[in-house]
Amino acid sequence: MAAVLGLIIGVIIGIFVKPDIPIVLQPYLPIMVVAALDALLGAARAYFERSFSDKVFVISFISNVLTATLLVLLGNQLGVGSQLQTAVIVVLGIRIFSNVSAIRRFIFKG
Amino acid sequence: MGDKKNRNILSSMHIQHAQDRENDRTDTGSFPIVRQRPKKMGGGLVSRLMTSLLIVLLCALLGFGYAIQLNNKTSTYETMSEEELTRLISETSTQVQNLQQRKTELTGQLNSLKAAANKQQEAQRIAKENEDTSGILSGRLPAVGKGVIITISQGSKERIDAATMFQLLEELRNAGVEVMALNHVRVVTSTYITETRKSLECDGQILKPPYRVKAIGDPQNLQNAVNIAGGVGSRFKVKFGAKVTVTPSESVDISETRDAEQYQYAKTVE
């Protein structure tokens, strides 16, 4: 419930405020969003598995975002930024899909 | 003996059962396992409130990032690598070149079309001019301008003959007449004058005296051509006893026209 509420609040603020993203952050923001989305879906899956833990969610959210950002940063420094970005997106995408399929099974099984 | 056999069978059944259990396991590792609900963390209402606030904050951050990323349409170039940017630049410059070439082509086309239009306009103007001049020349169009009106009364001594009348026309022509009419007949290049038993005939029309020649040209020249001493005017007076009057006019209106000739053999050179 808190998560949905937070999402709605965030989107509304984002739509109305329309801030300029600092240029340093621009390449990382999409990755951060996808990583956070993955964390959120993992939390949703854990909720359905009845193993949801606030602490785990918060930690996984932050660590996901940080890891993804650092990975892309590293890739940029090594000159393989776009490839590594693609790799991170692919991995996160796969995770998101598996989480979604697990959630779907929980919803439609019972 | 029998006891031992029974025990053997029992143990092999146990083994079999264990193997069956192992084989019938549905847990393949790829499906999620519902675990037991973890034991409630210790802590009171305050810490639970804090964690849900934190969740709200994080999700708000996520939504915020998503929303501003949606709005951020300006620059995707920052995220591109060097090769991509180079490729983009070369593609763009190729496109620019192509467009430039196309522009040059189209400009050339436009210019040629403009020139053609001008040429056509010029040709049309010349054609109109030609039509006017040839229309006046061939007698298809009425004409007006300054000139003279010559009136020749019937001869008192003898009938005016065709040769003298023709001489008058020739004299006028030499004096630079542009358009002429004899009575109601427009005089053109093919005009002829003959005599019938009673009177003159011009282009198939009977001419009745007094004869009236309307001529457009320089009035002074035309007047001189008729009135010159020993000229055609005095011939009319002396030989035929006719009265010749030449009146210059600022506006001689020759409304007599004739139909355009239909040539049977002559064709224009293409």
- Mind listing the pLDDT tens digit for each residue in A24-47? 777 788 888 899 989 988 888 888
Q: Say whether residue A28 is in contact with chain B using an 8 A CB cutoff.
A: no
Question: How far is B265 from B172, CA to CA, in rounded Å?
Answer: 31
Q: Before A30, cis peptide (omega within 30)?
A: no
Chain B residues in contact with A50 by the CB 8 A cut-off are 34-37
Look at A105 and B32 and tell me if their CB atoms are within 8 Å: yes
Our CA-based measurement puts residue A96 at a distance from the nearest CA of chain B, in whole angstroms, of 15
Question: Residue B66 pLDDT > 80, yes or no?
Answer: yes
Instruction: Express the helix, strand and coil content of chain A in percent, nearest 5 each.
Output: 80, 0, 20
Mean pLDDT across chain B, nearest whole number? 82
Quickly tell me which residue has 């355009």 as its tokens: B260
The pLDDT of residue B106 is above 90 = yes
Q: How far apart are CA B114 and CA B128, in angstroms?
A: 21
Determine whether the interchain pair A82/B59 forms a contact, defined as Cβ–Cβ distance below 8 Å. Answer: no
Strand partners, B236: none
Q: What is the ipTM of this complex?
A: 0.73
| A-chain residues near B40 (CB < 8 A) | none
Among candidates A6, A23, A30 on the partner chain, residue whose Cβ is nearest the Cβ of B63: A6
CA proximity to B203, closest of B180, B226, B186: B186
Query: Do residues A88 and B84 make contact, with C-beta atoms less than 8 angstroms apart?
Result: no
- The chain B residues in contact with chain A (CB within 8 A) are 31-38, 41, 48, 51-72, 75, 78-81, 84
- Between B3 and B189, the more confident residue is B189
Q: What order do you get walking across the sheet with B211-216 strand by strand?
A: B185-187, B179-182, B211-216, B143-152, B244-254
Average of pLDDT values for B162-170?
84
Sheet containing strand B200-202, strands side by side: B193-195, B200-202, B205-207
Is the preceding peptide bond at B210 cis, omega within 30 degrees of 0?
A: yes
The residue count of chain A comes to: 110
Contact A3 B68 (CB under 8 A): no
> Of how many residues is chain B composed?
270
Contact list in A for residue B62 (CB cut-off 8 A) is 6-7, 10, 33, 36-37, 40
* B89: closest CA of chain A, how far (Å): 18
pLDDT of residue B130: 87
Quickly state the pLDDT bin for B89 (edges 50, 70, 90): very high
Task: Report how far residue B220's alpha carbon sits from residue A109's, in angstroms, rounded to the nearest whole number.
Answer: 122
pLDDT above 70 (res A99): yes
Nearest CB among A10, A29, A45 relative to B60 is that of A10
H-type helices in A18-80, by residue range? 29-48, 54-78
Q: What DSSP designation does B218 have?
A: -
Cα of A48 to nearest chain B Cα, Å: 9
Q: How far is B33 from chain A (nearest CA, A)?
A: 8
Residues 6 or more apart whose CB falls under 8 angstroms from that of B256 comprise B139, B142, B181, B184, B185, B186
Calpha distance A61→A70 (Å, rounded): 14
